[in-house]
């Protein structure tokens, strides 16, 4: 089991009212799995994503990531986990506009304390893997949306994390680029990466092996996709 | 760290106008401080130079009666004050701080020296063979005194450049005759101090302070002094100290030795004291420093204002870069890393301002000195301290924005696009 959520609650204070965004979430993801979590906006899917991504801590419940309970981890420990074990892909790419593609991809390695020549080496390899080996010195504003998202994916995989988290990865892309990005995820999953993806589009969710629906903070049981993938 | 610094430079370069305006407060503050400090140092250097002279490091040790210099022009030779012996002179020269000692007698405002009808109002000195060496005189025209001049009591004289002007209207004095107390003295040479040092005069009080010897000097062999004045007049000792900083001690030690010899033979309230030019210079310097130091405090206020400006812009920058901070945190940047990044940026910004300020300050000091005539000397430690200080300002005023950035919640930060 790569990650295991047990009885997770997340409450927010809205004015004087306590709002429960997540209610009793139980979710286990096996290594090498590819799951999609679908839900309309306001359903709590982003909050769930933040919890899985160690950007946030639950109000109640336990979260085991690779067997380690991190629901009570400190800030620096969480930063280390995000750096070493998790790769993020965001809807808006979140590339740093003043850095080249190569430097953007190398950034997580910098925080991981990898030396300069190895950073370059590995960032280059990651960019080649996403098919952008010829765009190393391009800045984000010189790249198309689909290329930007592939740079972001290279950044997510450069540290060889166990878990890839994608938050609406195709939300800002046209359908053709979106398709390319999804094929890339597919390939990464085939190579053994565990992927957790959030989306509200059925077509995108269809790429995953297991599909979960979340509604009003409650996670419904997953449905395993039948057929050849099984 | 290097990466942080180069990133900071990129950031500053990316917002040239904004960075410059942010630095302006620091630039103005540092520039004013540098120009004030330069003026203080320039004035102090000048005071020291004016008093100590052209670096001959000469110290005078004179006979005092009570608190006043014993002036033989208004007194007869006092009982018990014996001429300083050759042994005592050697004892003085044996002091670590003393290179050479000279014994001489003198009259200030000598009223009995004439060339034809031209009276002389400068100083007449009866010197020994070492005097020119101690004060750095060398003979420019004619010849120096010879051994024979001293032993044969020849009535010869050497004038300095000023005396040449006042007595001989600048004509070659060699071969002309001076009348000293009615005795004819043949001028054999004109001597000048090796470095053409002139005290810098900025106002009338400086003139009174430094220019007491404006009519020049006439030198005669010390052995002929009794011909025109009295036998065994008390001598003044001129010491050539081994260095400028040794002057005070050389004078004190020599005065002690001489006073000790004196009290053995005299029961009068007589003593030898050295004129302490260093001490005098120090007192004058302190006066000028303290008046200028208040200006430094005023200039510091602009540094404070500059610091606040930096803080303000850094806070804006944190807000602008919220999503960058969020992303960096999401991919594993620790809090401390973000903190250091922003602190570095603030420190680089203000250090740069400090550097520009130092440059501007030096230019400003030179311009003011050119216009107002104040002396200026650039102090290397002051410039280093100024740049270091502006860096510290960046660290202090960058702290609040940096803490704010490092405390940003990555979720909030990512949400804002």
Q: Where are the domains of chain A?
A: 30-56+73-229
Helical (H) or strand (E) element with B193 = strand B183-193
pLDDT of A109 > 70? The answer is yes
Question: Which one of A79, A100, A104 makes the best mutation probe of the B interface by having the most chain B beta carbons within 10 Å?
Answer: A79
The whole-number pLDDT of residue B200 equals 61
CB contact under 8 A, B330 and A55: yes
B247 domain-assigned: no
Last residue of a domain, one of B241, B271, B295: B241
Give dist(CA A195, CA A3) in Å, integer.
11
The whole-number pLDDT of residue B375 equals 79
With cut-offs at 50, 70 and 90, classify the pLDDT of residue B269.
Answer: confident
Total domains in the fold of chain B: 2
Which of A128-142, B45-59, B297-311 is least confident?
B45-59
Helical (H) or strand (E) element with B180 = strand B177-180
The whole-number pLDDT of residue B295 equals 80
The whole-number pLDDT of residue B55 equals 60
Query: And the tokens for B166?
Result: 């006042």
- Do residue B28 and residue B158 come from a single domain? no
Chain B nearest-CA distance from A203, in A, is 25
The mean predicted confidence, pLDDT, of chain A is 89
The mean predicted confidence, pLDDT, of chain B is 84
How crowded is residue B148: how many other Cβ atoms within 10 Å of its Cβ? 11
Give dist(CA B390, CA B353) in Å, integer.
7
B23 domain-assigned: yes
pLDDT of A229 > 50? The answer is no
- Do residue B141 and residue B216 come from a single domain? yes
Helical (H) or strand (E) element with B26 = helix B16-52
Q: Please report residues of B whose CB lies closer than 8 A to that of A90.
A: 327, 414
B205 domain-assigned: yes
Q: Which residues contact A53 (CB under 8 A, 6 or more apart)?
A: A82, A86, A88, A165, B330
B237 domain-assigned: yes
Last residue of a domain, one of B188, B217, B241: B241
- Structural contact between residues B342 and B398, judged by C-beta atoms closer than 8 angstroms: yes
The whole-number pLDDT of residue B5 equals 84
Interface of B with A in 1-40 (CB under 8 A): 3, 10, 14
How crowded is residue B95: how many other Cβ atoms within 10 Å of its Cβ? 18
Q: Using the 8-state DSSP alphabet, how is residue B111 labeled?
A: S
B216 domain-assigned: yes
Query: And the tokens for B341?
Result: 């990044």
Give dist(CA A220, CA A212) in Å, integer.
6
pLDDT of A227 > 50? The answer is no
Q: Please report residues of B whose CB lies closer than 8 A to that of A151.
A: none
Chain B nearest-CA distance from A83, in A, is 4
Measured in residues, chain A has a length of 230
Interface of B with A in 324-353 (CB under 8 A): 324, 326-335, 337
Give dist(CA A115, CA A112) in Å, integer.
9
Between the CA of residue B379 and those of B33, B224, B291, B357, what are the distances in Å? Answer: 11, 50, 18, 14
Helix axis angle, B277-320 to B16-52, nearest 10°: 180
Q: Please report residues of A whose CB lies closer than 8 A to that of B324.
A: 96
DSSP A141-192: GGS-HHHHHHHHHHHHHTT--SEEEEESTTTTS-HHHHHHHHHHHHHHHHTT
* H-state helical runs in B53-97: 86-93
Last residue of a domain, one of B212, B241, B270: B241
Residues B186-227 pLDDT 10s: 999 999 876 555 556 666 556 555 555 567 889 999 999 988
The whole-number pLDDT of residue A230 equals 39
B250 domain-assigned: no
Confidence (pTM): 0.69
Q: Using the 8-state DSSP alphabet, how is residue B170 labeled?
A: T
Q: Find the domain containing B112 and state its range.
A: 97-241
Decide which of B50 and B83 is more confident: B83
Pairing, β A163-167 against β A194-199: parallel
B66 domain-assigned: no
What is the rounded end-to-end Cα distance, in angstroms, of chain B?
A: 28
Under CATH, what is the fold of the domain A30-56+73-229? Rossmann fold (3.40.50)
pLDDT of B288 > 80? The answer is no
Residues B28-44 pLDDT 10s: 999 988 888 888 888 88
CA-CA-CA-CA torsion for B74, B80, B86, B88, nearest 10 degrees?
-110
Q: What percent of chain B has pLDDT over 90?
A: 27
The whole-number pLDDT of residue B301 equals 85
How crowded is residue B77: how many other Cβ atoms within 10 Å of its Cβ? 14
Nearest chain A residue (CA) to B326: A94
- Do residue B227 and residue B116 come from a single domain? yes
- Do residue B105 and residue B178 come from a single domain? yes
The whole-number pLDDT of residue B198 equals 58
- Structural contact between residues B388 and B52, judged by C-beta atoms closer than 8 angstroms: no
- Do residue B230 and residue B328 come from a single domain? no
CB contact under 8 A, A75 and B410: no
CB contact under 8 A, B417 and A75: no
**Rounded to 5, what percent of chain B is helix, strand, coil?**
55, 15, 25
Q: Count contacts between A and B (CB, < 8 Å).
A: 54
B246 domain-assigned: no
Query: And the tokens for A75?
Result: 């800030």
The whole-number pLDDT of residue B416 equals 60
Residues A32-74 pLDDT 10s: 999 999 988 888 888 899 999 998 888 989 999 888 888 778 8
Q: What percent of chain A has pLDDT over 70?
A: 98
DSSP A38-49: E--TTSSHHHHH
pLDDT of A225 > 80? The answer is no
Give dist(CA B357, CA B303) in Å, integer.
11
């Amino acid at each position: 089991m790569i990650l295991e959520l047990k009885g997770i609650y997340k409450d927010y204070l809205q004015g004087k009212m306590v709002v429960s965004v997540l209610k009793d979430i139980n979710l286990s993801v096996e290594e090498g799995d590819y799951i999609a979590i679908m839900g309309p906006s306001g359903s709590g899917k982003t909050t769930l994503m933040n919890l899985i991504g160690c950007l946030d801590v639950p109000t109640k419940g336990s979260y085991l990531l690779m067997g380690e309970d991190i629901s009570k981890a400190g800030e620096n420990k969480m930063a280390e986990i995000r750096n070493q074990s998790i790769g993020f892909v965001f809807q808006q790419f979140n590339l740093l506009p003043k850095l080249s593609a190569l430097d953007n991809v190398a950034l997580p390695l910098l925080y991981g304390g990898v030396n300069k020549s190895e950073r370059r080496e590995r960032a280059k390899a990651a960019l080649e893997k996403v098919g952008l080996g010829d765009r190393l010195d391009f800045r984000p504003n010189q790249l198309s949306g689909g290329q930007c998202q592939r740079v972001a994916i290279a950044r997510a995989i450069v540290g060889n994390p166990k878990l890839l988290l994608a938050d609406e990865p195709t939300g800002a892309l046209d359908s053709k680029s979106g398709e390319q990005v999804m094929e890339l995820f597919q390939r990464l999953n085939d190579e053994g990466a565990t992927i957790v993806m959030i989306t509200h589009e059925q077509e995108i969710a269809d790429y995953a092996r297991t599909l979960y629906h979340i509604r009003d903070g409650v996670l419904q049981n997953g449905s395993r996709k039948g057929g050849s993938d099984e | 760290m290097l990466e942080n610094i180069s990133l900071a430079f990129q950031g500053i370069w990316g917002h040239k106008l904004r960075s410059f305006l942010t630095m302006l407060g620091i630039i103005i503050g540092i520039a004013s401080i540098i120009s004030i400090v330069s003026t203080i140092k320039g004035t102090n250097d000048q005071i020291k130079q004016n008093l100590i002279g052209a670096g001959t490091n000469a110290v005078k040790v004179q006979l005092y009666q009570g608190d006043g210099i014993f002036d033989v022009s208004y007194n007869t030779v006092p009982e018990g004050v014996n001429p300083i012996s050759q042994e005592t002179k050697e004892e003085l020269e044996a002091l670590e701080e003393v290179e050479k000692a000279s014994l001489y007698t003198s009259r200030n405002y000598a009223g009995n020296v004439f060339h034809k009808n031209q009276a002389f109002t400068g100083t007449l000195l009866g010197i020994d063979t070492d005097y020119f060496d101690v004060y750095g005189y060398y003979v420019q025209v004619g010849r120096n005194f010879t051994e024979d001049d001293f032993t044969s009591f020849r009535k010869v004289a050497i004038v300095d450049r000023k005396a040449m002007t006042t007595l001989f209207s600048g004509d070659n004095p060699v071969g002309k005759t001076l009348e000293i107390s009615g005795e004819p003295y043949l001028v054999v040479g004109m001597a000048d101090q090796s470095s053409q040092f002139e005290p810098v005069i900025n106002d009338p009080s400086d003139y009174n302070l430094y220019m007491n010897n404006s009519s020049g000097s006439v030198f005669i062999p010390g052995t002929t002094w009794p011909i025109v004045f009295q036998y065994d007049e008390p001598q003044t000792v001129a010491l050539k100290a081994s260095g400028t900083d040794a002057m005070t001690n050389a004078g004190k030690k020599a005065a002690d030795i001489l006073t000790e010899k004196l009290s053995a033979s005299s029961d009068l309230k007589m003593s030898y004291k050295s004129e302490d030019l260093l001490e005098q210079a120090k007192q004058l310097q302190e006066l000028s420093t303290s008046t200028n130091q208040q200006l430094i405090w005023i200039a510091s206020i602009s540094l404070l204002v500059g610091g606040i400006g930096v803080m303000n812009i850094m806070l804006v920058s944190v807000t602008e870069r919220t999503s960058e901070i969020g992303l960096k945190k999401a991919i594993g940047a620790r809090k401390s890393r973000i903190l250091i990044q922003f602190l570095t940026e603030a420190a680089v910004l203000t250090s740069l301002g400090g550097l520009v300020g130092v440059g501007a300050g030096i230019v400003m000091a030179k311009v003011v000195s050119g216009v107002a005539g104040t002396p200026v000397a650039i102090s290397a430690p002051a410039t280093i301290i100024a740049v270091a200080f502006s860096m510290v300002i960046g660290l202090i005023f960058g702290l609040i924005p940096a803490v704010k950035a490092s405390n940003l919640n990555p979720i909030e930060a990512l949400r804002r696009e």
